[in-house]
Amino acid sequence: MDFQLVWQYFPDLLNGAWLTIELVALSLFVGFFLAFICGLAALSRYHLLRYLAQSYMFIFRGSPLLIQIYLIYYGSSQISWIKDSFLWAILSQAYWCALIALTLNTAAYTAEIVRGAIRNIPQGAIEAGKSFGMSRWLLFRRITLPQTLRLMIPAYSNEVIQMLHASALVGAITLMDLTATAQNLISRTYASYSFYLAIAVIYLVTTYVISGIFRLLERRLYRHLRLNEA
Amino acid sequence: MNQEPIIVADNIRKKFGTNQVLKGVSLSARQGDVVTLIGSSGSGKSTFLRCMNLLEIPDDGKIFVDGEWVQMRPKPRGYQEPADRHQVDRIRAKLAMVFQNFNLWSHMTILENVIEAPIHVLKKPKKLVVDEAMALLDKVGISGKAHAYPSHLSGGQQQRAAIARALAMQPKVMLLDEPTSALDPELVGEVLRVLQQLAQEGRTMIIVTHEMKFAREVASQVVFLDQGVIAEQGHPEQIFLSPATERCRQFLASVKWS
Ligand SMILES: Nc1ncnc2c1ncn2[C@@H]1O[C@H](COP(=O)(O)OP(=O)(O)OP(=O)(O)O)[C@@H](O)[C@H]1O
Ligand SMILES: [Mg+2]
């Protein structure tokens, strides 16, 4: 491992890491809201909504993220009405295409987590709310939502970590994320071992921080399960 | 005492699939009445109780609570459904329910459980509600657990918390579905004592129970439900000492009188 070399190019790696974190954070943020809408729609009593939500989840969970990125980036350039519309301003840019692909992808996976969590809420908690005259919205806000978030945490923390690692695919459409930056440096210096190891460590540290954040969150939200504070 | 009934269920019918669970059940209670519903498993007691606060929608029949009939409208395919969701919510808020499995909200402390609906449904000021809640928790004997979470309490304590939560709504009628059935035998007494006290204070209650001794002592009216119809109904002494129907006699002979 050539520390000196890695240190010399460390600012480039940090730039790459920053793009990775930016893409992952933005797509997770937007994807989380989409996931709730989609997860709720998948449980709706209206056939059409359910069908739409389930198809969306099936498509984005059923195909590789890399293909989704390619389709949005290269595919859109071949559809003439997109090229002629205002959408082209967005879809001609690799950054936006990557962001859209990552967002739609995480939204589909997270929607499945949301759906599973809502299904696992004890029915009695919902009935108790109804029996005290809570309106649908109040019931959602005060009972369903907080219980869903608690049930989601373990699966969702996995999803966040997976997204961090999956984001390495955006290099395929010219974006200089952490992985692409390393590959670029390797093609110039041939120090593949050093740079791959260096970014592995950066991914690891980031993953560690994410896990830590979720552990803190669990500590707060799972107070009701801890027995020693009774 | 007020002569107009506070709650009426009129000719309630309910079917699940092809299973006709309630075949026209009627009941009315005045303020201060304690009605105990008894009957063998599957006779439709829970379903009937749940029809009263519209957790189940009766296929046919009417519900009256505190001066108003629940508005129903025919469903396109099927029987009937409530016409006004707000009316349903309003009526439910007057009929606090206590469940067999307590159904406390696990993510809230006991105190938060008790103050939740008075604040958000009745829109009462928090300060007042907290004071009332603490007094109620004291009354059911668990004020020391106000800041604990439900999973930290014994079953008997959880059920007493659920009773306090129901009382905090200052309900016109309390509906209780087998409040002691999920409890270990040694915890049943503490919950029954609380209910007995509520009965003495003149609270209107409709209680489904398998505790026959309690059903007899606490009731002003006993209703024996059998296969979806009321087979017998009347004063506890009459039902328990000289049941008129063979079915009721058999049922009373079959249950244990702990
Ligand atoms: N949601 C439902 N869907 C289908 N069938 C139901 C439903 N709820 C109740 N039933 C059926 O209706 C019948 C009456 O049930 P109910 O719970 O009212 O009886 P119960 O008198 O309360 O009995 P128990 O003493 O066991 O609580 C049973 O045969 C039950 O299987
Ligand atoms: Mg029952």
Sorted by where each begins, the domain ranges of chain A are 3-229
Compare CB distances from A125 to B92, B106, B149 and report the shortest one's residue.
B106
Q: What is the pLDDT of residues A139-157, one digit of tens each?
A: 999 999 999 999 999 999 9
Query: In the prediction, which pLDDT does A1 show?
Result: 80
H or E element in which residue A53 lies = helix A47-62
Asked if A23 and A170 count as a contact pair (C-beta separation under 8 A), the reply is yes
| CA B231/CA B244 separation, integer angstroms | 9
pLDDT band at B87 (very low <50, low <70, confident <90, very high): very high
Residue B254 has pLDDT above 70, yes or no: yes
Averaged pLDDT for residues A147-173: 96
Instruction: Please calculate the CA angle A132-A137-A141 and round it to the nearest 5 degrees.
Output: 90
Q: Provide residues with CB under 6 Å of ligand 1.
A: B 16, 19, 21, 39, 41-47
Residue A227 has pLDDT above 60, yes or no: no
Q: Is A81 helix (H, G, I), strand (E, B) or coil?
A: helix
Instruction: Please calculate the CA angle B117-B120-B123 and round it to the nearest 5 degrees.
Output: 105
Buried b (16+ CB within 10 A) or exposed e, A74-108: eebeeeeebeeeeeeeebeebeebbbbbbbbbbbb
Q: What is the pLDDT of residues B41-73, one digit of tens each?
A: 999 999 999 999 999 999 999 999 999 999 999
- Reading the block at residue B77, the tokens are 């395919």
Query: In the prediction, which pLDDT does A81 show?
Result: 87
Residue B81 has pLDDT above 60, yes or no: yes
Residue A44 has pLDDT above 60, yes or no: yes
Averaged pLDDT for residues A169-187: 95
CATH architecture of residue range(s) A3-229: Orthogonal Bundle (1.10)
- Reading the block at residue B222, the tokens are 């006993």
Query: In the prediction, which pLDDT does B106 show?
Result: 94
Compare CB distances from A132 to B96, B148, B150 and report the shortest one's residue.
B96
* The ligand 1 atom nearest the CA atom of B47: 18
Q: Which of A57-66, A163-172, B74-83 has the lowest mean pLDDT?
A: B74-83
Alpha-carbon distance A225 to nearest alpha carbon in chain B (angstroms) = 7
Residue A229 has pLDDT above 70, yes or no: no
| CA A71/CA A200 separation, integer angstroms | 28
Query: In the prediction, which pLDDT does B229 show?
Result: 95
Chain B partners within 8 Å of A143 (Cβ): 105
| CA A93/CA A75 separation, integer angstroms | 13
- Mean of the per-residue pLDDT values for chain A? 94
Query: In the prediction, which pLDDT does B3 show?
Result: 75
Query: In the prediction, which pLDDT does A45 show?
Result: 92
- Higher-confidence residue of A229 and A221: namely A221
Q: What is the pLDDT of residues A52-72, one digit of tens each?
A: 999 999 999 999 999 999 999
| CA B229/CA B231 separation, integer angstroms | 6
* The ligand 1 atom nearest the CA atom of B44: 18
Using a CB–CB cutoff of 8 Å, tell me whether B73 touches chain A. no
Instruction: Give the position of tokens 């509600």.
Output: B129
Closest CA relative to residue B117, chosen from B96, B146, B144, B138? B96
Q: Is B10 helix (H, G, I), strand (E, B) or coil?
A: strand
Q: pTM here?
A: 0.90
Q: Which of B19, B52, B181 to mutate to test the pocket of ligand 1 (most atoms within 8 A of CB)?
A: B19
Alpha-carbon distance A222 to nearest alpha carbon in chain B (angstroms) = 8
Using a CB–CB cutoff of 8 Å, tell me whether B103 touches chain A. yes
Alpha-carbon distance B149 to nearest alpha carbon in chain A (angstroms) = 5
Chain A partners within 8 Å of B124 (Cβ): none
Query: In the prediction, which pLDDT does B77 show?
Result: 77
pLDDT band at A230 (very low <50, low <70, confident <90, very high): very low
